[in-house]
């Protein structure tokens, strides 16, 4: 029974959960629910994988079942331990727990081999000497293929040859083991698919033990069967492979899970294929797999995404059988929803403009109380220093204020958050006319931010005390691509031609309030009025580095934009 249903808070079930729920009701699997997340360790996990992870682990937890983490490591030429490690880290970070159920397809190589021998004995598999190119020719097109000349070898000969293949008696590509199905089948996957190929390569786990490696179609169903999976959930492109998945398991007469296919995730302004992400990394178009602009989970973690936000996002987009592209804004919404509740507030100035408060005593520093998180009273308060010289955001001052600009301008009174009302009295400029400093006066009666006479101000600014400010580097990010769909390329171009030149802006000399002096790497903060920021892993003592995870929603930016037009 689904937890949500048990809580009498029935959520609408997606089609996969509906199947699982129906099966639980009918007792199809004796009430068991066993799913698996089966990544190939040939790349880092990305937000698209998170959809699958959350589906599989989510179903297991909601229906009182379990979910295995299984590495589908059947191709030694592409797979590496580095990827195994990163995948484990990422799934764990997302908050899922596979308990004892960490498996590797390669652990089943012997069982798979034995089953292949069974199939040969049943006359349902044969050793084929056709080259890769010949195999393709024989497979044929829509009109059908033709039988391999090796199709009718005797069981004895097949057994002997297959053993020799295993023992390494033949060079790479010399022979394959194929299932004997139907070369005229309208589904190409059923035209005597290859089960084993000869590869003399060192596997990251089994070393040089094997010279033959199983193909996906052969291996995957067997892995599922061995692990007693009930619902084998995979992406849409495997729909064509389901008849073969079923054929192998039926031919072997072994435990037979149900394969269910769903549509993979697409997101605007990003690419999601491992191949393309790898190219971005290898061509150094980004700083690595964990570059905060990458949709990889390691990148998003470094950017400041919370696991909670990603999990909510995956639940929100649901799952279906048709291709769709989710608006990046929805991801951002889920992000902000979580960070708003959980991020401590802090004041930071990205583009500092010095302000001297002329009637404030020189040399005086007072501590003012600031709320850490208005969404969470248990987060308490902290003291923020204030003095005669402070920094405010350059964008918060305009000498000639347009309509609807409520912030500081000569002669106007505004509030410095948690501090005082101040009025701008003078603008200091250099010889080129650039504003270098503002002169203000303050009203001592407004300490804390409220006027005893009840007068109001239109706007509240964040600020940082000049004397105590911490210097920091802040990295601002925008979409990695300028195009909503970077895969939709014009003639002669490729997706890398649409990389956004402004995807990364590095700001130095940013001013941060002193409470962040020892902020831990990957800790998440809201810089008031600016956005959510995360301490980068490059950050070191005395050399703070922040990533902007996301901006706050910004009404003024919209107005400004509209006024420009």
Partner RNA sequence: UGGGGAAUAGUGUAACGGUAGCACGAGUGGCUCUGAACCACUUAGUCAAGGUUCGAAUCCUUGUUCCCCAGCCA
CB of 431 to RNA, least distance (A): 30
DSSP for 77-112 reads TT--HHHHHHHHHHHHHHT---TT-EEEGGGGHHHH
Contact between 236 and RNA (CB under 7 A)? Answer: yes
Q: Rank residues 360 and 418 by Cβ distance to RNA and give the closer one.
A: 418
- Closest Cα partner for 207 from 81, 118, 356, 116? 81
Structure tokens at 504: 């990364």
Of residues 51, 70, 180, 274, which has the active-site annotation? 274
Question: Can residue 326 be called a binding residue for RNA (CB under 7 A)?
Answer: yes
Question: Do 505 and 476 touch, CB atoms closer than 8 A?
Answer: yes
Catalytic residue check, 490: no
Nearest in space to 13 (alpha carbons), one of 24, 2, 23 = 2
Q: Please identify which residue in 230, 259, 460, 503 interacts with RNA, judged by CB under 7 A.
A: 460
Among 4, 89, 182, 239, binds RNA (CB under 7 A): 239
User: Cα separation of 83 and 88, whole Å?
Assistant: 9
CB nearer to RNA: give 291 or 424. Answer: 424
Shortest spacing between CB 297 and RNA, in angstroms: 17
- Taking contact as CB under 7 A, which single stretch among the options 53-61, 191-199, 475-483, 536-544 is the one that binds RNA? 191-199
Query: Where does this chain touch RNA (CB under 7 A) — which range of 216-224, 286-294, 435-443, 467-475?
Result: 216-224
Q: Which residues from 416-435 bind RNA, rule CB under 7 A?
A: 417-418
Task: Say whether 40 is catalytic.
Answer: yes
316 near RNA, rule: CB under 7 A: yes
Cα–Cα distances in angstroms (integers) from residue 431 to residues 113, 427, 437, 546, in the given order: 82, 13, 13, 33
Q: Is 232 in the site for RNA (CB under 7 A)?
A: no
Site string for RNA, 12-41 (x = CB under 7 A): xxxx--x---------------------x-
Token pair for 487: 């895969």
Binds RNA (CB under 7 A): choice among 93, 150, 255, 406: 406
Q: Minimum CB separation from RNA for residue 543, in Å?
A: 26
**CA dist 31 to 14, 253, 509, Å?**
19, 22, 60
Cβ–Cβ < 8 Å for 495, 272: no
User: Per the residue annotation, which of 264, 303, 311, 336 is the catalytic one?
Assistant: 264
The span from the CA of 368 to the CA of 90, in Å, is: 40
Which residue, 153 or 415, is less far from RNA as judged by CB? 415
Pick the binder of RNA from 82, 85, 426, 450 (CB under 7 A). Answer: 450
Beta bridge partners of 66: 34
Residues 272-311 vs RNA: string with x where CB under 7 A?
A: ----------------------------------------
Kindly state the smallest distance separating residue 183's Cβ from RNA, in Å: 11
What is the smallest separation between the CB atom of 168 and RNA, expressed in angstroms?
14
- To the query of whether residue 70 is one of the catalytic residues in this protein, the response is no
Spatial separation of the C-alpha atoms in residues 271 and 496, rounded to whole Å:
10
321 scored as a contact of RNA (CB under 7 A): yes
Counts for the chain of helices (H) and strands (E), in that order: 14, 27
Question: Does 436 sit near RNA (CB under 7 A)?
Answer: no
For 120, the enclosing helix (H) or strand (E) is helix 109-121
- Pick from 143, 239, 245, 240: which is nearest to 187 by CA? 240
β pairing state of 66-71 and 102-104 = parallel
Q: Does 409 bind RNA (CB under 7 A)?
A: no
Tell me the site size for RNA, rule CB under 7 A.
93
Q: Kindly tell me which of 498 and 532 has the beta carbon lying closer to RNA.
A: 532
Smallest gap from residue 296 Cβ to RNA (A): 17
As a residue count, the chain comes to: 565
When binding is defined by CB under 7 A, the residue of 6, 102, 155, 329 that contacts RNA is 329
Q: Which is nearer to RNA, 315 or 538 (CB)?
A: 315
Tokens representing 276 are 């393309």
| 162 touches 116 (CB < 8 A) | yes
Q: Pairing between strand 125-128 and 176-179?
A: antiparallel
Q: Does 240 bind RNA (CB under 7 A)?
A: yes
Minimum CB separation of residue 341 from RNA in Å reads 8
Rounded to 5 degrees, what angle do the CA atoms 507, 268, 236 make? 140
Question: 128 has which bridge partners?
Answer: 176
If one asks whether residue 173 binds RNA (CB under 7 A), the answer comes out as: yes
Q: Please state the closest distance from residue 461 (CB atom) to RNA, in A.
A: 7
Segment 524 to 563, residues that bind RNA, using CB under 7 A: 526, 528-529, 552-556, 558-559, 562
Question: Residue 23 and residue 62: Cα distance in Å, rounded?
Answer: 14
Under rule CB under 7 A, which residues in 124-153 are in contact with RNA?
130-132, 135-136, 139-142
What residues numbered 467-496 form the site for RNA, per CB under 7 A?
none
CB environment 458-471: b (16+ within 10 A), e (fewer): eebbbbbbbebbbe
Closest CA relative to residue 346, chosen from 436, 464, 454, 231: 464
Least distance between RNA and beta carbon 406 (Å): 4
* Nearest distance in Å: CB 507, RNA: 19
User: Sign of the CA dihedral 241, 245, 251, 252?
Assistant: positive
CB of 432 to RNA, least distance (A): 26
Residue (of 125, 141, 110) closest to 175 by Cα position: 125
Binding marks (x or -) toward RNA, 348..387, rule CB under 7 A? -------------------------xxx------------
| Contact criterion met (CB below 8 Å) for 373 and 426 | no
How far CA 219 is from CA of 51, 377, 407, in Å, comes to: 23, 54, 64
Q: Applying CB under 7 A, which part among 114-122, 325-333, 353-361, 466-474 lies near RNA?
A: 325-333
Kindly tell me which residue out of 56, 86, 158, 176 binds RNA, with binding defined by CB under 7 A.
176
- Considering only residues 66-125, where is the footprint of RNA by CB under 7 A? 72, 74-75, 78
Catalytic positions are 40, 264, 274
């Amino acid at each position: 029974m689904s937890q949500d249903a048990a809580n009498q808070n029935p959520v609408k079930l997606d089609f996969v959960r509906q199947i699982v729920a129906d099966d639980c009701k009918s007792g199809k699997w004796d009430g068991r629910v066993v799913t698996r997340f089966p990544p190939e360790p040939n790349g880092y996990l990305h937000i698209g994988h998170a959809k699958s992870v959350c589906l599989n682990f989510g179903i297991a937890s909601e229906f009182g079942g379990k979910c295995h983490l299984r590495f589908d490591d059947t191709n030694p030429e592409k797979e590496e331990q580095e990827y195994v490690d990163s995948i484990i880290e990422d799934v764990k970070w997302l908050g899922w727990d596979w308990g004892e159920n960490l498996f590797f397809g390669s652990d089943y190589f012997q069982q798979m081999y034995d089953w292949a021998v069974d199939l040969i004995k049943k006359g349902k598999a044969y050793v084929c000497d056709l080259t890769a190119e010949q195999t393709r020719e024989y497979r044929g097109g829509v009109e059908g293929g033709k039988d391999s000349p090796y199709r009718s070898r005797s069981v004895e000969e097949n057994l002997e040859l297959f053993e020799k293949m295993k023992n390494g008696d033949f060079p790479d590509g010399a022979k394959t083991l194929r299932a004997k199905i139907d070369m005229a089948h309208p589904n190409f996957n059923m035209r005597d698919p290859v089960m084993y190929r000869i590869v003399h390569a060192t596997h990251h786990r089994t070393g040089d033990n094997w010279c033959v490696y199983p193909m996906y179609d052969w291996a995957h169903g067997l892995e599922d069967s061995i692990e007693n999976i009930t619902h084998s959930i995979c992406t849409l492109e495997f729909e064509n492979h389901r008849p073969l998945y079923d054929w192998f398991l039926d031919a072997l007469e072994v435990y037979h899970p149900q394969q269910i296919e769903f549509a993979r995730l697409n997101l605007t302004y990003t690419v999601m294929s491992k191949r393309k992400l790898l190219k971005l990394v290898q061509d150094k178009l980004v700083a690595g797999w964990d570059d905060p602009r990458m949709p990889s989970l390691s990148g998003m973690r470094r950017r400041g995404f919370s696991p909670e936000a990603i999990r909510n996002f995956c639940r929100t987009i649901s799952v279906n059988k048709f291709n769709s592209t989710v608006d990046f804004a929805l991801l951002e919404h889920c992000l902000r929803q979580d960070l708003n509740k959980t991020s401590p507030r802090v004041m930071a100035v990205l583009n500092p403009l010095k302000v001297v408060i002329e009637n404030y005593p020189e040399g005086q520093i007072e501590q003012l109380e600031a709320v850490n998180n208005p969404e969470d009273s248990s987060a308490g308060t902290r003291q923020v220093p204030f003095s005669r010289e402070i920094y405010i955001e350059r964008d918060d001052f305009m000498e000639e204020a347009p309509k609807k600009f409520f912030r500081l301008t000569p002669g106007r009174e505004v509030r410095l958050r948690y501090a005082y009302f101040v009025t701008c009295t003078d603008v200091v400029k250099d010889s080129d006319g650039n504003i270098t400093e503002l002169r203000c006066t303050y009203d001592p009666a407004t300490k804390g931010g409220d006027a005893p006479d009840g007068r109001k101000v239109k706007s509240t600014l964040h600020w940082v005390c000049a004397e105590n400010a911490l210097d920091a580097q802040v990295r601002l990010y925008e979409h990695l691509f300028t195009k909503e769909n970077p895969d939709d390329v014009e003639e002669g171009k490729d997706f890398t031609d649409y990389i956004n030149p402004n995807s990364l802006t590095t700001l130095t000399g940013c001013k941060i309030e002193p409470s962040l002096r020892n902020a831990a790497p990957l800790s998440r903060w809201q810089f008031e009025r600016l956005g959510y920021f995360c301490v980068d892993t490059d950050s070191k003592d005395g050399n703070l580095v922040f990533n902007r995870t996301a901006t706050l929603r910004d009404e003024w930016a919209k107005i400004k934009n509209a006024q420009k037009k």
